[in-house]
Amino acid sequence: MSADVLCLRPAADFAEVGVDVPADLRICFASSPDEVPAADLATARAVVLAAVGPRLDRAWLDRVTRLQLLQFTGAGVDRVGDSCAHRPEVAVANVPAANVREVAEYVLFAAGSLLRLPMLRELSVGGIATFLSRHAVRLFSAVAEGGRPICSMDFTGPAAVAVGSEGAGLPKELAAAGEQFTIPLVPTAESLNVAAATAVALYEIARQRAGSHRGTETQR
């Protein structure tokens, strides 16, 4: 069967720290991109590679047509540079370069989790709004200022949260399409990066839903 993950690190790196590759995660181990079979390039959705090494050619990456994740082990993304800049659907992540059990487990967990999540690609703002409305999902948009306090929003039902980058934020159309909320900050902080803002939003969603569940159990 063709691969889900292309790992440009040897399988021995995982065995050395006692981490077993999950049986349901199909991985092609190769020492260089040239060794990856064409069939695996067509099916793989994640590439794992060390941060140090020859630069990955854009033409080779473009052959990985279903790519969703570039997972580097080590600091920096110089091996890719702008070779994936034209593919906004591809997430790029780093972990420490140390070959220890925790790093090996994280790499497999990150790839496995992403491959199990359904992905919606190439949707316009209008397409996103239509899709969510069709499935009775409320859209919430995080904005740096001008939105309602996040704790006043009702996240207990089906919800989608749109979060933008720290500098540019959400596209105006996407921000306007949702119910806008703002995360309160101390005066000396201008904004949160996307990871921190997402973590706060997910915590608030979990908090509200846990409280809603407890209320239901009490009524019973």
Same domain for 108 and 131, yes or no, is no
Measured CA to CA, the distance from residue 34 to residue 151 in angstroms comes to 51
Confidence (pLDDT) at 119:
67
Measured CA to CA, the distance from residue 167 to residue 134 in angstroms comes to 32
CATH number at residue 101: 3.40.50.720
pLDDT average, residue stretch 1-24 = 85
pLDDT average, residue stretch 211-215 = 63
Measured CA to CA, the distance from residue 6 to residue 67 in angstroms comes to 10
Confidence (pLDDT) at 47:
92
Same domain for 106 and 163, yes or no, is no
Residue 125 has pLDDT above 90, yes or no: no
Which pTM does this prediction carry?
0.57
The percentage of the chain sitting over the pLDDT mark of 70, rounded to a whole number, equals 88
Number of domain units in the chain: 2
Domain boundary among 82, 97, 116: 116
Q: What are the tens digits of pLDDT across the range 55-107?
A: 888 999 999 999 988 888 877 777 887 788 788 778 887 776 666 677 777 77
Same domain for 132 and 208, yes or no, is yes
Measured CA to CA, the distance from residue 72 to residue 87 in angstroms comes to 17
Dihedrals φ, ψ of 195, to 5°? -65, -45
Q: What is the DSSP string of 17-70?
A: TT-PPPTTS-EEE-SSGGGS-HHHHHH--EEEEESSSSPPPHHHHHH-TT--EE
Single out the residue of 35, 27, 19, 32 nearest to residue 1, CA to CA.
27
Confidence (pLDDT) at 53:
86
What's the maximum distance between 2 C-alpha atoms anywhere in the chain?
Answer: 62
Q: What are the tens digits of pLDDT across the range 165-204?
A: 777 788 889 999 999 999 999 888 777 888 889 999 999 9
Same domain for 146 and 177, yes or no, is yes
Report the range of poorest mean pLDDT among 37-46, 152-161, 207-216: 207-216
The amino acid at residue 135 is: H
Dihedrals φ, ψ of 134, to 5°? -60, -35
Domain boundary among 85, 116, 147: 116
Confidence (pLDDT) at 220:
47
The amino acid at residue 15 is: A
Parent domain of 202: 125-219
Residue 139 has pLDDT above 80, yes or no: yes
Give me the count of residues in the chain: 220
Same domain for 9 and 112, yes or no, is yes
Same domain for 91 and 192, yes or no, is no
Confidence (pLDDT) at 40:
95
Report the range of poorest mean pLDDT among 4-8, 158-162, 180-184, 211-215: 211-215
Same domain for 135 and 100, yes or no, is no
Confidence (pLDDT) at 200:
95
Domain boundary among 59, 94, 116: 116
Confidence (pLDDT) at 137:
95
